[in-house]
Structure 1
């Protein structure tokens, strides 16, 4: 009775329940109906109880499935992590390519943890650097603009640039527990730059280039947005204070755009959380890109373009 009421595992409580019912003179058929199991299962429980008592009702230790990676694979995994400590997907892609063993990212992480590795990120915050009153005022303004957008009074876009390469600049990495990681500078890899205008209505207008993003490139992107906008519609673009957005050339163009009902709203300094397109970049880099994307730069470019072209249908962000 104690095991039936207080046992930690549901399976043990269920088997103990069968023994209690039998003691109360319920038949095997009745017990199997009550517990929704077969007669054979109930009989096996009774046999185990008679042979070993309560211990016979407990689950036996199981060896589990053989490990996917052997000692040689784990050694190679550690070597790959030393080369790419910042990008687990790139490591996974290389390991899969070399060993022919397919696995999910979680399996690779478990293998690293069993080898004494941990995953740490250097967290940095810009909160202390922004002007809190300016931040709150802009936050309230954006909330009002979103209401206008919901009523169909304006088109509201969030603009930003982001780069994609096989080498990530994110300051966290896998390393042995208790051992500080010293990262050696690597040669600059090719980079796919994406300029995007994102709306909360599921619309994404984007432009990609492997060239350096300059003010001229940004202006060309804004001009393309203007071509897609209805002449009668009011459009507001939210963006940060990057130097290429604040240049004299950009500000001169801004006056021309106003005449065509395209307005620019600069965010307060050090306030990336107010720019919703930052969510899109995180989703693409850490959730939507498959492991195979990092095997080569052409592969990365192809997969990034697939995600961008599929946004709004296959890939979505639900803004509350």
Structure 2
């Protein structure tokens, strides 16, 4: 049987229908009614990558020490990362009521890019844009982030090329002189960057599974950021399982 089509010709995404509902699904404040009713899976399976377990453990211990310093008020700690949000919701597993299917229209659309830092003070500092993410965007964002804190800033981030580009080394050196320290994670260690959890929950719990116009996508993402800590909550210092 061919894949069903939307009215406008785009493909329709059909969710999986296992016969039983999974146990142990994580719950997070702010989950949409649709996500709860359909039992949408919050955490998509992650492929295992080859990584240095020793480096991973050392980084975990270093981050725990940084979190302790942040709780003591010595530094502002930030998890920084980039993510993309499509007008078509990401396909994922769901468990709808028996005999029903959950389908959404999936015409082609654009990707809204988001760069954000989750601060130990509890704030989210976001920037959303339709342009490509590059090193200039990164260093500009980092400069604005530094200006909004009044203590030494330690930023936990991955090894993406835009974070280490030669073109921005002079700007990064100036930011270092102003109290900004970049703490790079080992490769294949997304679990150590807590903002990765935020991206997953935004996509798979807080946003309804539907097709969005550009304007609607911007509004929905902005709504989550504007209400983070109120309608949508996560604990910055929550103990994370690294297994």
Fold-level match, TM-score > 0.5?
yes
1:195 pairs with 2:115: yes
Q: 1:287 Cα deviation (Å)?
A: 1.4
More deviation, 210-219/79-88: 79-88
User: Given the alignment, which residue of 13, 29, 33 partners 1:84?
Assistant: 13
Provide, for residues 20-65 of structure 1, a one-character-per-residue CA deviation record: whole Å limited to 9, x for no partner: xxxxxxxxxxxxxxxxxxxxxxxxxxxxxxxxxxxxxxxxxxxxxx
User: Given the alignment, which residue of 158, 162, 184 partners 2:79?
Assistant: 158
Note the residue ranges of structure 2 that are not aligned, 5 or more in a row: 18-32, 95-105, 239-243
Distance 1:211 1:259 in 2: 30
- SS of alignment partner, residue 129 of structure 1: coil
Distance 2:58 2:36 in 1: 42
Distance 2:215 2:163 in 1: 29
Q: 1:243 Cα deviation (Å)?
A: 1.2
Distance 2:183 2:73 in 1: 18
- SS of alignment partner, residue 142 of structure 1: helix
Q: 1:290 Cα deviation (Å)?
A: 3.4
Task: Normalising by structure 1, report the TM-score.
Answer: 0.57
Aligned residue runs from structure 1 range 207-226, under 5 A: 207-226=127-146
- SS of alignment partner, residue 244 of structure 1: helix
Q: Are the aligned partners of 1:165 and 1:297 in contact in 2 as well (CA < 8 Å)?
A: no
| Other-structure match for 1:305 | 222
Provide, for residues 260-312 of structure 1, a one-character-per-residue CA deviation record: whole Å limited to 9, x for no partner: 001101100110000000111112111112356x3422112111101011112
Aligned residue runs from structure 1 range 114-125, under 5 A: 123-125=45-47
| Other-structure match for 1:10 | none
User: Given the alignment, which residue of 51, 62, 65 partners 1:141?
Assistant: 62
Q: Are the aligned partners of 2:34 and 2:208 in contact in 1 as well (CA < 8 Å)?
A: no
Q: 1:202 Cα deviation (Å)?
A: 1.5
Q: 1:201 Cα deviation (Å)?
A: 3.4
Note the residue ranges of structure 1 that are not aligned, 5 or more in a row: 1-76, 89-102, 110-118, 175-185
Q: What is the Cα-based RMSD across aligned positions, in Å? A: 3.1
Task: Normalising by structure 2, report the TM-score.
Answer: 0.73
1:317 pairs with 2:219: no
| Structure of greater Rg | 1
Distance 1:263 1:138 in 2: 15
The one of the two structures with greater contact order (alpha-carbon pairs below 8 A, sep at least 6) is: 2
1:266 pairs with 2:191: no
Distance 1:240 1:225 in 2: 17
Give the strand-richer structure, 1 or 2. Answer: 2
